[in-house]
Amino acid sequence: MASIGALMLDEEKGWRFFATKLAIFHAIPEPVVIRWLESVGVKGAQKIARHLPAPFINAIGEPNVPKLTEYVLSRFEEDRLTFTEFCAGTHSFQVYIGDIARQRENEANSVHPFFNHPLKRIREWARHEHESGMKEAKFHREHEDEMNV
C-alpha cells in the first residue's frame, strides 16, 4: 500500500489514478488501506475515493456499504472533493448494452434503501445516484425517440 500510495500522491504521476478505475483496492486488506489513509490524511482519501466499492443490495435484499467505503465517507465526511470523487467513480468506465434508459432507471431506483442510511454522505450519494440516473434515463429515452429507435 505504501508503494501504491506514493504513486497516488506523486505530483507528476498521480493523475493516472483519476484516469482509470482500479480494483486493486478490493485486493488489499481494508485495515492496510485504512492505516495508510490515517497516515496521509485527506489527500489520500481524495485519491482513493474514485476506486472505492459502491454501496449495494446484498443477496438477501439488505443495503450494504463496504467497510472501506464507509470508513472513508465517515472519516473524511467534511471533505467535498472526497465525496465528489466517490460519486464520479461509481459508474466510471461502466459500459451499457441494450436499453440504457431502463438500466439507468433501475440503478436509480435501486438506491432507495440508502435514502435513510445513518451516514450523511451515503444518503447524499443515494440522492445523487437517483437524480442522475433518472435524468440520464430521460435523456436516453428522448434521444431514442428523436432517432426513431
Whether the Cβ atoms of residue 52 and residue 68 lie closer than 8 Å to each other: yes
Tens digits of pLDDT across the chain (149 residues): 888 888 878 888 777 776 666 667 778 899 999 999 999 999 999 999 999 999 999 999 999 999 999 999 999 999 999 999 999 999 888 899 999 999 999 999 999 999 999 999 999 999 999 999 999 999 999 988 888 76
The pTM is what?
A: 0.84
Residue with cell 467534511: 78
Whether the Cβ atoms of residue 48 and residue 23 lie closer than 8 Å to each other: no
Collapse the DSSP code of 119 into the 3-class scheme (helix H, G, I; strand E, B; otherwise coil) and give the result: coil
Closest CA to 52 of 119, 130, 115: 119
Distance between CA 108 and CA 102 in Å, rounded? 10
